[in-house]
Structure 1
Amino acid sequence: MCGTVGLFMGCAAVSLCPKQALFARRDDPGGAVDGAGAAVHAKAGEDGTDAYASPFRNWYERATVRSADRRELGPSAADQGFFAPELVPLASHPLIADLRGERPDIHRDVLVRHLYRYLDFTAKLEHLVVNRTVLGIAHGTIGVRLPEAMRLDAFKIYCDEAYHALSSADLAAQVRRATDVRAELPEVPYFVTRLERYLEETPDDLTALTEILFVIVSETLITAQLSEMGNDRSIVPAVREAVRDHALDEGRHHAYFAVFLRHLWGQLTPATRRRAALRVPRLIRIFTDPDVPSVEREVVGYGFSRDDARRIVTELFPDAAVTAYAKTVSQQTVRHFASVGALDDEQVRAEFAAHGLL
């Protein structure tokens, strides 16, 4: 039922609803539509539907959900942490370090709470956002013509993402039992709140496409630091292995969505392509910008005033650093959109530059 399942970002049942084809008319299921609803057709082969090299050829043997053991916390060395400290700016802030005298476990607690934030982000991204779109791809209800093999691979992605969500929730529960550290995270992750607000500002005829673009963005960003963390022996094994599992699966997802973008772009009208491209920079920043309110609440929980917490977070996340991070992790995503001609338009390039992505 609309608006009652999970978070409301359009119709929660849209990926399964037989009445919905986001770019195709019911009376013309093979035709894509532009923003005004006018049917258009890609020429045979124009969108690459006649060729597809699946990145999931060895999925049954190599996917985490098929081949990996459950990641369980066990005894860890005294010098092993729950997250890489260099990826947690709060852990190295001088005012946090000053608390070690009265709170010897403060460094560990900061890392544990960051791990919770990462696991919660992962679980809710996969369940509430990515798999909604993946279901639509698998069932052929989003109106993008795809080879049958691509639709079958979408079922595999759905399994992967569901398992990533389960693994994240499972590991978070284990860490709570092992450390007795609690995290006061928002029920709705900050990136979802920002996405919802953006969708509220989005013209109705672009809402579904914007959600799809957000998934393409989320699946093609590359965070090299997390890949490195999967091999970092200073991290407790269960966390290290869970991060590595996720990274290995996401490599296949990245390859898939790069191909999916070409299919999608080839089936949009030139006018809709331009309107869609103008939305991508904001979607990248929605995904990459830090959850400042959550970190501020955490700092207050360590005994700081709200003013001090705000000052600490401002020091942790200066605008220049936040923008530089967004540019770094989105380089491959930007290249994918450039490869389909999205950045050929001068206004689109200006929009990417205005968000610090060029």
Structure 2
Amino acid sequence: MKRNVTKPHLSRSFENWHCQSSVRASPYNYVLSPEALENLECRNWFPPSLLPFLQNRHIRNRSNIKVRLQACYLVHFLDYTNVLEHTVVNAAIETIAHNKLSVSFDSDIKVMAHMIYKDEGYHALFSALIADQIAHHFDAPRLPSTRLEELNSFLKETHTAYRSLLKFVIGFVSETVIANELRNLSKHHLVATVERMFKDHLRDEAKHALYFSYCFTWLWPKLEEREKDFVVRALARVIQIFCSFDERWLIGNLLQCGLPLSSHPCIVRDCQHWSINRLILAGSETVIAIRKAGILDIPKYRDALEKAGLTHG
């Protein structure tokens, strides 16, 4: 079902921001107790069903390795989130708040942008707080995100005339994808502090996804054709980057867990469908906004996005 995100509906979702935003409602509520770090009989650090490599025959019956890989993946996910919020999402917010696009948004949309900017800073903070605690306990490696490196490379190779527009597109994809991802993460029983953090994060990101969906569908018809051509090319590449699996992270952690090199290829192969599944699972909000904007009604744009897997849902 297509959700028609009208401006009044969007405004209502932010009217209680001053008391409902996680930075207001859950300040510094993310300290892991020694018990949480030690007793994991009934809880997980990250949903095992979302980490297909855990079911590989070299791993599935080794509980200590499974727990460690869950924890290390959570650290990697939170480190990625930390940098993403500061350098990607807030960069997109700046394009709206400070008139860096070819079309200016209304003043109330800019006010909401400032609210989101503050939210994202807090999301980065609590991601860092939890990641540091878990990484210290498990001596987890802090590896740079391949996904972020690819996004940065895309930005650097993009002509300056389109760079702000690309930042906006990346923010739009990021926020619509992460809202669905957090929705799914929040359905699982995890370590209590981690579960609470995901639910607090989702409470904010559900509003942010509505915001970026509205901004995207409002902006699209006002763009020049050359800008629309660029947006579609950017969407195709950005969604694939956001749905990619970090094989470098996996191999680095398999080595640290002491798994033999001969086992690595088949463990990596178990993740081959991860990107497709992630797109189906997390990309529906993005697709809804793209459909609502009418992009898929234009054959050349529909064909380009079909190749990127962006026309499902």
Question: 1:294 and 2:252 equivalent?
Answer: no
Does the 8 Å contact 1:131/1:161 carry over to 2? Answer: yes
Question: 1:274 and 2:229 equivalent?
Answer: yes
Q: Is 55-64 or 201-210 further displaced after alignment?
A: 201-210
Does the 8 Å contact 2:95/2:164 carry over to 1? Answer: no
Residues 143-185 of structure 1, C-alpha deviations (whole Å, 9 max, x = no match): 43112111111111011100000001001122234xx212223
- What is aligned with 2:142? 185
When residues 278 and 231 of structure 1 are mapped into structure 2, their CA distance, relative to the original with a 3 A threshold, is: closer
Q: Find the aligned partners of 1:343 and 1:249 in 2 and give their Cα distance.
A: 29
Select the structure that is richer in helix: 2
Question: 1:236 and 2:194 equivalent?
Answer: no
Q: Find the aligned partners of 1:50 and 1:184 in 2 and give their Cα distance.
A: 44
1:73 Cα shift?
A: 1.4
Residues 32-66 of structure 1, C-alpha deviations (whole Å, 9 max, x = no match): xxxxxxxxxxxxxxxx9997841211101111001
Q: Find the aligned partners of 2:178 and 2:149 in 1 and give their Cα distance.
A: 22
Q: Find the aligned partners of 1:283 and 1:262 in 2 and give their Cα distance.
A: 18
Q: Find the aligned partners of 1:71 and 1:116 in 2 and give their Cα distance.
A: 14
Matched pairs, number: 301
When residues 79 and 324 of structure 1 are mapped into structure 2, their CA distance, relative to the original with a 3 A threshold, is: closer
Does the 8 Å contact 2:232/2:305 carry over to 1? Answer: no
When residues 185 and 307 of structure 1 are mapped into structure 2, their CA distance, relative to the original with a 3 A threshold, is: farther
SS in 2 for 1:105: helix
Give the unaligned 5+ runs of structure 1.
1-47
- What are the equivalent positions in structure 2 for 1:1-358 lying under 5 Å apart? 53-54=10-11, 55-69=13-27, 70-74=29-33, 75-76=35-36, 78-98=41-61, 100=62, 105-177=64-136, 180-187=137-144, 189-221=145-177, 224=180, 226-232=182-188, 234-314=189-269, 316-319=270-273, 321-358=274-311
Does the 8 Å contact 2:220/2:228 carry over to 1? Answer: yes
Letter in 2 for 1:94: R
1:291 Cα shift?
A: 0.8
SS in 2 for 1:214: helix
1:133 Cα shift?
A: 2.1
When residues 224 and 192 of structure 1 are mapped into structure 2, their CA distance, relative to the original with a 3 A threshold, is: closer
Q: Find the aligned partners of 1:203 and 1:343 in 2 and give their Cα distance.
A: 26
1:224 Cα shift?
A: 4.5
1:288 Cα shift?
A: 1.1
Does the 8 Å contact 2:10/2:211 carry over to 1? Answer: no
Residues 235-291 of structure 1, C-alpha deviations (whole Å, 9 max, x = no match): 111000000011110001011111111232133113321332232121111111111
Q: Is 89-98 or 149-158 further displaced after alignment?
A: 89-98
When residues 231 and 347 of structure 1 are mapped into structure 2, their CA distance, relative to the original with a 3 A threshold, is: closer
Q: Find the aligned partners of 1:231 and 1:331 in 2 and give their Cα distance.
A: 17
Q: Find the aligned partners of 1:149 and 1:254 in 2 and give their Cα distance.
A: 17
Runs of 4+ in 1 over 6 A off after TM superposition: 48-52
| Normalised TM-score (structure 2) | 0.87
When residues 80 and 51 of structure 1 are mapped into structure 2, their CA distance, relative to the original with a 3 A threshold, is: closer
1:357 Cα shift?
A: 2.4
